[in-house]
Structure 1
Amino acid sequence: MTQTLEDVCTVIVDSEHKTAPAAESGTEFALSVGTPHVRNGRLLLSDAVAVDEETYREWTVRGVPAVGDLILTREAPVGDVGMIPAGVRICLRQRTVLLRPDSRKINGSFLLYLLASPQVQERMHSKGAGSTVPHLNIKDVRALLLGQLPSRGEQDAVAEVLVALDEKIALNEQHAETALELAGYLYERESAEHGRWSESALKDTAKWLSGGTPRTSEPSYWGGDIPWISAASLKTPWLYTSERSVTELGVQNGTRLVPKGAILFVVRGMSLTTEFRVGIAQREVAFGQDCKALIPHASIDPVTLFLAIRAQTPKILGMVDLAGHGTGRLVTERVANLRVRLPHGEATAGFAARAGALMHRAVAVTNENRTLADLRDTLLPQLLSGKLRVKDAVRTVEEVV
């Protein structure tokens, strides 16, 4: 029998509040979670605002979020979903819905993967279309068709396979972040040496390039195999793929290619109001006008320059101006005159080897994650539809986890 979302879980309407007053120091009680914090099956809570107990009580009158509950975004964007982990207390902002799975009817992790599946995502987006800002109303959320569900035991088995993949991906992400942090600490420690390190203006360390955007109405420019890096897609320090890609023809008509080892950073975008996004190309990539690219001079190691720029994040954020609609903007001349510390002489190769080994580890596990994510996305629809037997999926996952 075809099931709806309301058949298998309790749907709790989101808070009426859009933003939360930040708790004063010492009164933090919970985290305020909205649509920016729900991405790719997870809750990203590092920049969630802490609220006091009074705000928490006021915002959870309709329902108190609990471990294992799901949060579904119903506007900006539609259809992102994440599960509440243990060890955190949260309250919800507008445009989200709290889903409490009925454990007798559905495995919560299975429901999370089901909501993320292409078929259910398509249903949500079709319901959310038709207005200036796509959104799902509560009635549509409750009536969302999930299809015919497998037995509870089969749900458990499917969820176990997919969770194993996601746990491996999360572990790899932690390893990559740790390796990057260690490389940053190494830079801070060794760059303090005055004899073998010296300051240079950033403009004197590399060739500076501006990017561009091929005409989006021309299909022959897009959908190729060359990643196109934009302010929105520069979310990782290791630039290998992007949500959009261009063809060779697209490169010749409006954008620019840079080689492996080029350093790209955002100079215009809403993200600049809170963070400085900088990455190093792991292959040849193209990039948009909201980014700058630096091709280090032959005598300068790309990883070292990347770490030197990243170490200047507080100063760079202090240079950001606000353009229209809250968009941050970095004036190139200001960044170009920024002074960075770089090694010289024998110190150059030694630091490059030590820092490079850490970065290589981070890149390796990040590349492995791309393979794991592709495998998960391939298995997901087949497992949910029953086309692939769980034991066959387990065998495949055991080979890579």
Structure 2
Amino acid sequence: MRFEIATLESLCELVVDCPHSTPKWTDEGIIVLRNQNIKNGVLDLSAPSFTNEEDYLKRIKRADPKEGDIVFTREAPMGEVCMIPEGVKCCLGQRQVLLRPKSDVNGQYLFWALQSPYVQQQIAWNEGTGSTVSNVRIPVLKALNIPRIDNEDMIAKSLSDIASKMALNTQTNQTLEQMAQAIFKSWFVDFDPVKAKMNGKQPEGMDAATASLFPEKLVDTDVGELPDGWKLVPVGELLDKAIGGDWGKEEPDEKHTEEVRIVRGTDIPKLHGGAIDSVPVRYVESKKLKTRKLERGDIVIEVSGGSKDQPTGRTLFISDNILNRLELPSEPASFCRRFKPKSYEIGLLLAVHFQLMYKAGKTWEYQNQSTGISNFQTTYFLEAEHVVVPSEEVLAAFIKQVSPMMDMAHSNQNIELAKLRDTLLPKLISGEIELESVATE
């Protein structure tokens, strides 16, 4: 088994530092890569930043990022990497370095080698001083030792196949959540099945048994037209409890004895995406855990934080899979609240309503500014935000369709794949194990 060492510089055609200036930010235009878009080897451009053509041309004078290039973050955070995908026109932001592998170097292998513990340990420690550092200087970056071993192409393919499977799972989960939202909007916002029956038609995409559960007319009420027998109810009336979160202590003491996970607003999208590593483990008082412990059907809502571009009000529905993923008893963080619906079914109805509401930007209406921090006006929200509550039969039909979608969207497959990737990565890069064939299907 061959195991050699090469410097990063010797493997790259280009090692180019970013422009040391702030881009001119625009609402649209050409993408500027930011360190916040790069995490765990993934380039997330779901919320991109932009600059104009003029500033873009200034920022690519030394190198124009192209497909297969590797972007390395020098600080804040340090040592994260991603690859430039096909069809993305972009430029570097700040605190980044562009790496272009030589033509005879497998760029995917280099990408994974940079994420291995062997290389990450070099990044974390300043060579020759034994002290931790907060940034990586270009000479240190160029001098990083990269292992060269047999079967680099196969190793790169194996790890990249796992990453592709995780990306596909994430996309599938997003599609499932969108499908649940589409059903909710059709049934409980646009009243499509009721309107179809009023026109003597079969509701589109619905079997006769389910269609028979829906009313055949809309009636005038004080709040507008509603399907016959349905109600428009304030969110607060559908909850048994709404209670603030907790933060606890980093270490246990006489009072803080219960080990828990604390779900923060920043963890909500990551938990939706199948991650858990960001959710902190802390210690709380037993009496507080009794009233704040998250249970099946609960909803965590973010009530403080946000930014000028991101309102408060992100939510997480607590399904069985989410509870299994969290592994420990869990509470919402101090800047979140626990909503306990009157039932699991009402909880799922509210959860999809909240997702649609946030997606439409409606949570902006329920927040105010205090000392630079956005706060969600929970009391006002519970009184002012209304939800259509159908008959028990229609609600049961909705749960029957949507609950499996939510369970699948919250599945733990990506966590298992991440564990497999993280187990294989150091062993493959070090040559501890060899691959004769790879199957990641």
TM over 0.5: yes
Alignment of 1:82-101 (within 5 A): 82-101=82-101
Q: 2:249 pairs with 173, 198, 215, which one?
A: 215
Aligned-CA RMSD value: 2.7
State the 1:338 CA deviation: 3.5
Q: Which amino acid aligns with 1:44?
A: D
- Residues 223-280 of structure 1: per-residue CA shift (max 9 Å, x gap): 95x4321123222464884534547x63527653111221112112245841542111
Residue 257 (structure 2) pairs with residue 257 (structure 1):
no
Change (3 A) 1:354 1:250: same
Q: Which has the higher mean CA deviation after the structures are superposed, 200-209 or 233-242?
A: 233-242
Alignment of 1:2-401 (within 5 A): 2-9=5-12, 10-22=14-26, 28=29, 30-104=30-104, 106-127=105-126, 134-146=134-146, 148-151=147-150, 154-192=151-189, 193=191, 194-195=226-227, 197-206=230-239, 207-218=241-252, 224=259, 226-236=260-270, 238=272, 241-246=276-281, 250=284, 252=286, 256-270=292-306, 273-275=309-311, 276-281=313-318, 282-283=322-323, 285-298=330-343, 300-313=345-358, 314-324=361-371, 326-345=372-391, 346-364=393-411, 367-391=412-436, 394=438, 397-398=439-440, 401=441
CA contact (8 A) 1:272 1:320 kept: no
Larger radius of gyration: 2
In the superposition, the TM-score normalised over structure 2's length comes to 0.79
Identity, % of aligned positions: 26
Q: Which amino acid aligns with 1:11?
A: V
C-alpha distance in structure 1 between counterparts of 2:281 and 2:236, whole Å: 29
Change (3 A) 1:240 1:41: closer
User: Which 5+ residue runs of structure 1 have no aligned equivalent?
Assistant: none
C-alpha distance in structure 1 between counterparts of 2:44 and 2:64, whole Å: 19
C-alpha distance in structure 1 between counterparts of 2:373 and 2:253, whole Å: 29
User: Which 5+ residue runs of structure 2 have no aligned equivalent?
Assistant: 192-225, 324-328
Q: Which amino acid aligns with 2:63?
A: G
Q: Which amino acid aligns with 1:110?
A: Y
- Residues 313-333 of structure 1: per-residue CA shift (max 9 Å, x gap): 112123333444x54321322
C-alpha distance in structure 2 between counterparts of 1:69 and 1:88, whole Å: 11
- Residues 284-310 of structure 1: per-residue CA shift (max 9 Å, x gap): 522210111111103843221101112
C-alpha distance in structure 2 between counterparts of 1:40 and 1:237, whole Å: 15
- Residues 61-99 of structure 1: per-residue CA shift (max 9 Å, x gap): 121101000111111111111000001100111111111
In the superposition, the TM-score normalised over structure 1's length comes to 0.87
Q: Which amino acid aligns with 1:200?
A: V
